[in-house]
Structure 1
Amino acid sequence: MSRWALVACFLIAGCGGAAEPEPAPEPEPEPSAGTIDRLDPSFDRLVPAGAVIEHLAEGFGFTEGPAWVDEGDGFLLFSDIPGNRIVKWEPDGTVGDFLAPVYEGEHEAGRLVGSNGITVDPEGDIVFTEHFNGRISRMSADGTRSVVVDSYEGGRLNSPNDLDYHSNGALYFTDPPYGLPSPEDRAQDVNGIYRLSPDGELARLAELPGPNGIAFSPDESRLYVADSSTRQWFVYPLAEDGTLGEGELLLDASASEESGSADGLKVDELGNLWATGPGGVWVIRPDGLHLGTIKPTEVPANVAWGDADRRTLYMTARTGLYRIRVNVAGDQ
């Protein structure tokens, strides 16, 4: 062996066997952007023990109405209400405007003029509530914007809030006064729950003090509605003709000392509700048992199932967007 080879051998770590390299340190796990309250043992089958709440985006005025769109790799739309825009979030973290402005008229700064609930109709078009305009609108793939519904019995709607499609194409939605400057500005004398049939006939089915989030059970035999003004959730039997039977109280959260109210909600494939409420997202069994609460660092106002397997719960919460992976798929 030449002396240069000998020197190189010792520089590398000595002849006759190189020292084992130190193993790379394990990456630090991402800290969870919130906490999870587990109230019933069955909750662990829905939300795994190691589940992490992720903070995806921030800097918005007030986020609401998320909806997952299955186009390409998929993307999430949600409302920034005081920002007067619908925001598009993509899985690579890209954030941009999908529609801005939503309300095109003059308005005071900070007024809640933007969209609220968003969904995808049976044809794949984006349908959203314009609660300051008192209407529900559609955005087609070619960018055409049209009115779906804006009046009932000759008077404009109050402030359509959230919405859900039945599999037969009927659109159910809530109409409280929350997007108006004052409740006294409402045009309808009640805060209703409505059904718009596929042929365009609008019917008021029920009323509540403050109807908000709305979703069907997996078999569409029941309709769930949140009431923000009372911090309660109600369930209605759904008749074959699309009308509602008498509503029953499912769960009352009015005694909670945490901030937030009964707001947007979705249902999983097993029939459990994932409903924004005081402090976070309440997971509620179909019989009304509160199983647990997912608590991002900001109080959420609405949720949506997303990703290809529908096992990711996206949460719009005050100024941010959050998500958590779970063990059950969303029904819608």
Structure 2
Amino acid sequence: MTRQERRDPQRLRDPEVSISRRTLVHGLAACAGATVAGVSGALAQGSPQGPVAPPSTITSPPRDFSPRGAPTTYFWDPDIIAVDPSFNDLAQPNTAIKRLHTGLLWAEGPAWSAQGRYLLWSDIPNNRQMRWSEDDGHISVFRTPSNNSNGNSFDFQGRQLSCEHLTRRVVRYEHDGTATVLADSYNGKKLNSPNDVVAHPDGSYWFTDPPYGGQLYEGEPDVAGGPSNSGGKLNPRIGQPAGFVPGKRELPTNCYRIDPSGRVDLVVTEEQVPDPNGLCFSPDYKKLYVASTGKGPGDTGPGGKGDMFVFDVGTDNKLTNHKRFSDFMVDGVKCGPDGVRCDVSGNVWCSSNAGRAVGYSGVTVWSPEGKLIGRIRLPEVCGNICFGGPKRNRLFMAASQSLYAVYTATQGAGPG
């Protein structure tokens, strides 16, 4: 460790800082050695083996996404895959996936502020929201505590929306700095742990309410006797401020609509979409996509199966024509969806959780008809995504411990 690193330990954690001279010298030496070895090996083989493949998430050793890693100089990033030729019109060929930050516990809920030109996202277990500034790439803590916020978005007036696990509510941050509670209950019963929220042009907000915040790591368990603390052995007040009143799961896992009047309406039942997670509208707001993820704390049923459903949205805000959009099986691997966004052409971009199946976590991209057309491979499970940047043509990916981004040849539909 250098003297500067001892004075400023943050330099060891922040991928945006410059590396030390000693690290640079070692890296150059290693690169030189690898180059010599590669040339020697090629000459010894006596016959050309074709072009050298660039490192990717599936090579051994895997691609290094840090600033110390070799730059991706190939015309197509090796981890951007066109499954169908139509994806060539959506992917930007001369760009590379960039890791903007790492060192999080569980990254979720990215949202783009068009006015502020920054990205914010949740680091749920650390009980904070983070911010990446577009002008200089600076990373900072945006809000702490965040009540273990999960999904975030911005409405058509540029106000931030957040789903809070700890307080089991959906809030809106006003331009004057105050916070408004949009929903914390339905029919007199406390919400579970709102997960993701999207704005509609009519002034309403639609959100999902699975139970994943009912655990110590991402929120707080139920009071003794509740579904996620039936034995009463966990104390949900530990680590919380004085006067904190823990809740108890009282509702199924549903989706709701917050009317501009403040009324909360049930729009999707647990029977239709168990454990609903990410959601988004099509560009014309005539379809609603809802991801269904796995069994959560306190669930008595089997939970979701890691697929996605789509509904037609009527002029009366009633949902019809409920059907499965995709089971998210890719090459026999379950690429479970979580966060979801549409581009302006109606293609559906979904974060992918493939567990330990290397090369399948990241992002899957689907046509409006449910056909897989493209994939983006990341070295970590991806929890959520959003489009942003000044032109809204950059895809931001909150993936486990890190934040990634890549430019596209399309734009995200809708704000946030």
TM-score, structure 2 length as denominator? 0.67
The residue type paired with residue 394 of structure 2 is T
- Once residues 141 and 114 of structure 2 are traced to their aligned partners in structure 1, the CA distance between those partners, rounded to angstroms, is 18
TM-superposed deviation, 1:140: 2.1
What does residue 223 of structure 1 align with?
288
Pairing 1:116–2:157 present: no
Tell me by how many angstroms 1:308 deviates.
Answer: 1.5
Answer 1 or 2: which has greater strand percent: 1
Q: Which amino acid in 1 is paired with 2:319?
A: L
How far is the alpha carbon of 1:37 from its aligned partner?
Answer: 2.6
Q: CA deviation at 1:224?
A: 0.6
- State the alpha-carbon separation in 1 of the partners of residues 179 and 291 from structure 2: 29
Show the counterpart of 1:16.
Answer: none
Moved more, 261-270 or 48-57: 48-57
- One-letter code aligned to 2:325: L
Amino acid in the other structure paired with 2:196? D
8 Å Cα contact 1:171/1:196 also seen in 2 = yes
Higher helix share: 2
CA, structure 1 residues 323+158, in 2 after alignment: closer, same or farther (shift >3 Å)? same
Distance 1:328 1:122, change over 3 A: closer
Aligned match of 1:319: 401
Amino acid paired to 1:203: D
Separation in 1, partners of 2:165, 2:315: 29
Deviation at 1:187, TM superposition (A): 2.7
2:210 matched to which residue of 1?
176
- Specify which of 237, 257, 270 is matched with residue 195 of structure 1: 257
**Residue aligning to 1:238:** 313
Secondary structure of the residue that 1:42 maps to in structure 2? helix
**Residue deviations 1:257-284 (CA, integer Å, cap 9, x gap):** 6576210010000000011123121101
Change (3 A) 1:35 1:261: same
**Paired residues for 1:16-35 under 5 Å:** 30-31=71-72, 35=79
Once residues 267 and 145 of structure 2 are traced to their aligned partners in structure 1, the CA distance between those partners, rounded to angstroms, is: 32
Pick the aligned partner of 1:160 from 178, 182, 194. Answer: 194
Aligned with residue 130 of structure 1, among 160, 164, 169: 164
Q: Which amino acid aligns with 2:259?
A: S
CA gap of 1:159–1:34, structure 2 versus 1, over 3 A, is farther
SS at 2:121's partner residue? strand
How many aligned positions are there?
294
Shift of 1:30: 2.2
Post-superposition Cα deviations, 1:282-318, rounded to whole Å, max 9, x if no partner, equal 1010000011111122221111111121110000000
TM-score w.r.t. length of structure 1 = 0.83
Identity %: 36
Tell me how far 1:155 sits from its aligned partner.
0.5
Q: What displacement does 1:184 show?
A: 2.1
- Where structure 2 has 5 or more consecutive residues not aligned to the other structure, the ranges are 1-68, 216-220, 229-247, 295-304, 355-360
Q: Could you tell me how far apart the structure 2 residues matched to 1:313 and 1:89 are?
A: 14
Report the RMSD for the aligned CA atoms in angstroms.
2.0
Offset at 1:176? 0.4
Q: Is the Cα–Cα contact under 8 Å of residues 218 and 269 in structure 1 kept in the other structure? A: yes
Retained in 2: the 8 A contact 1:259–1:299? no
For the residue of structure 2 that corresponds to 1:263, the secondary structure is strand
How far 1:29 sits from its partner (Å)?
7.2
Q: Which runs of 5+ in 1 are unaligned?
A: 1-27, 104-113
2:182 aligns to what? 148
Higher Rg of the two aligned structures = 1
Match of 2:297 in 1: none
122, 130, 134: which one pairs with 1:87? 130
Which of 28, 39, 44 is the aligned partner of 2:83? Answer: 39
Q: Match for 2:97: what amino acid?
A: I
Give the whole-Å Cα distance in 2 for the aligned partners of 1:34 and 1:148.
Answer: 43
